[in-house]
Amino acid sequence: MNSLLSTAEDIQSPPSPPRGIDTPKTSSRSISDPSYLQSPATPLYSEKQQEQFTKRKQELELEVNVLIQKRTSLENQLKELKINRVSFSELTLLKASVAQRTNEDNSSKIEELMNSYAEIIKEVRSNQSQVDILETKIREEQERRNLIFGEISTMEQALDLSDLSYKIPEFKGVTMNFDHSQYTSDIERLSMTSNTSKQICNELLCAKPPLNVLTEAASEYSKCTESKWKVRAIGTSIFRGEISALQKQLSETDNYIHKLENEIKNDKSKSESYQNQMRKEEIDLTNNNLTLVQNYKSQITQLESKISNLKTEVTNSANIFESIQQEMEQIDHNRVEMSLKMANYSESEDEPESVTDTEGYSEDLSDNQRNELLDRKLVLQKEVSKLREDYQKLQAQSSAKKEKKIQELSKIYAKYKSAKHRLNKNGLSGVLQLDDSPFRKKIGHLIHKIDSNILEISQNFESGILSA
The per-residue pLDDT for range 29-57, each reduced to its tens digit, is 444 444 444 444 444 667 888 888 888 88
Q: Are 245 and 133 in contact (CB under 8 A)?
A: no
Residue 106 to residue 110: CA distance in whole angstroms: 6
Phi, psi values for residue 350, rounded to 5°? -80, -30
Within 10 angstroms of residue 335's Cβ, the number of other Cβ atoms is: 15
Q: Are 432 and 447 in contact (CB under 8 A)?
A: yes
pLDDT score, position 384: 72
Q: Please compute the mean of the pLDDT values over residues 261-280 and round it to a whole number.
A: 81
Percent of residues, the chain, with pLDDT higher than 90: 0
Residue 252 to residue 260: CA distance in whole angstroms: 12
3-state DSSP helix/strand/coil % of the chain, to nearest 5: 85, 0, 15
Q: Look at residue 348 and tell me whether its pLDDT is greater than 60.
A: no
Q: Please compute the mean of the pLDDT values over residues 358-380 and round it to a whole number.
A: 63
Q: Please compute the mean of the pLDDT values over residues 97-122 and round it to a whole number.
A: 80
Q: Look at residue 422 and tell me whether its pLDDT is greater than 50.
A: yes
DSSP state of 435: -
Mean residue pLDDT across the chain:
70
Lowest mean pLDDT among 144-153, 377-386, 435-444: 435-444
DSSP 6-30: HH-SS-PPPPPPPTT-------S--
Reference 240, options 125, 131, 122; nearest CA is: 131
Confidence of residue 392 (pLDDT cuts 50, 70, 90): confident
Instruction: Output the pTM of the full model.
Output: 0.25
DSSP state of 163: T
Q: Look at residue 373 and tell me whether its pLDDT is greater than 70.
A: yes
pLDDT score, position 304: 75
Sign of CA dihedral 26, 27, 30, 31: negative
Q: Are 286 and 88 in contact (CB under 8 A)?
A: yes
Domain range summary for the chain, segments of one domain joined by +: 47-103+270-347+355-467
Residue 121 to residue 464: CA distance in whole angstroms: 71
Q: Look at residue 142 and tell me whether its pLDDT is greater than 60.
A: yes
Q: Look at residue 268 and tell me whether its pLDDT is greater than 70.
A: yes
Q: Are 91 and 450 in contact (CB under 8 A)?
A: no
Q: Are 4 and 315 in contact (CB under 8 A)?
A: yes
- Count Cβ neighbours within 10 Å for each residue of 447-468 and write b for 16 or more, e otherwise: beebeebbeebbeebeeeeeee
